Amino acid sequence: MDTLTIKELQSHNEIIEAFSIMKQLRTQLDERSYLDLVAEAQEKEKYKMFALFDHDEMVAVIGFKSMITLYYGRFVWVCDLVTDTNQRAKGYGKKLLTYAHEWAIANKYERIALSSGLQRIDAHRFYENKMKYDKVSYVFTTSLK
């Protein structure tokens, strides 16, 4: 029997429940800034957050949004993907990313894209080897403060 379920997180309480896992990826965020950013992204950017549960335990979280650019066309941008550090190497990340692929196809998007920090070597192996993603560019950023 499959004990895995995926659920969209929409309520305030559901989003708070995901914070302890998301904080493992987005270490710079405190709970208040996390809640504010998720609410604004959901309202203005069509950001969606889903959690993977094994039995009733949340074990991984993904956040993504649909976009249109001249470079990729209609696509889904994966903003966040994290598996609880105590639950890694069990296929949870693959399950959630595959769910995002299925969501994108069902909603007529042509591609999935994401960026991953240079230091995240294990994540890069996952994307390239297990998920068959191509490394196509670098992302550059600068602070405006």
Domain boundaries, the chain: 4-130
Q: How far apart are CA 66 and CA 83, in angstroms?
A: 22
Rounded to 10°, the helix 12-22/31-45 angle is 120
Is the full-model pTM beyond 0.85? Answer: yes
Predicted confidence at residue 48, as pLDDT, reads 98
| CA 134 vs CA 42, 52, 74, 125: distances in Å | 28, 25, 18, 11
Q: List pLDDT tens digits, range 24-73.
A: 999 999 999 999 999 999 999 999 999 999 999 999 999 999 999 999 99
Burial tier of 60 (Cβ tally within 10 Å: 0-12, 13-18, 19+)? buried
Report residue 109 as tokens: 């998007």
Res. 1: pLDDT tops 70: no
Residues 6+ apart with CB under 8 A from 104: 66, 75, 76, 111, 112
Q: Which CATH number is associated with domain 4-130?
A: 3.40.630.30
